[in-house]
Amino acid sequence: MRKRLTMIALGSLIACIAVAPGALGNKGHGPKGPKQAPGSISLTASPSTVTPTASTISVTGNVMATSGCRKDRTVQFSYVGTGGTTPLTATAMTGPNGDFAATLPKPADAAPATVTLQATAGQTDRKVGSAKKGKKAKKGRKITCLSAPGQTTLTVAP
């Protein structure tokens, strides 16, 4: 009799554990948030040594991220030097493969100096997947394209 009661108690305990997914630290699956996609920027400045005769700097680069996070990103630029950070008003828009180009004014730091050119593509939310028939909105999954940073060093020559 004692053996039978023990088996009944043990069976009901196992049934309770199997039914309650939150029991014993077993968490149920809740709703998933959007996938987060990191990225970075490769950046090339020409000329990399800024002379007094140069008035502008040509910048080319690429946003390296997942395919849904490359196109139509706004890239903002700033100089970081001895005088602090100088945000620039010039921006660039990325193409379908993440490439961009911009013409920037030369840094205002006095020569000789080393200045860092920073580029940042801000965080955006996207939907990937095909559009429903007859509708413009995408029906796919949501992706959060995280902020993508990049930098290169410029030398200001006398």
Find the CATH number of the domain harbouring 36.
2.60.40.3880
Indicate whether 6 belongs to any domain. Answer: no
- The reported pTM is 0.72
Count the domains in the chain: 1
pLDDT at 32: 74
Token duo for residue 76: 């903002």
Indicate whether 147 belongs to any domain. Answer: yes
Indicate whether 8 belongs to any domain. Answer: no
Token duo for residue 69: 């996070």
**Residue that is written with structure tokens 């180009």 in the block:** 101
Domain span at residue 120 reads 32-156
Report the C-alpha gap between 111 and 50 in whole angstroms.
Answer: 9
Indicate whether 140 belongs to any domain. Answer: yes
Quickly state the pLDDT bin for 140 (edges 50, 70, 90): confident
Indicate whether 19 belongs to any domain. Answer: no
Token duo for residue 84: 């602090």
pLDDT at 33: 80
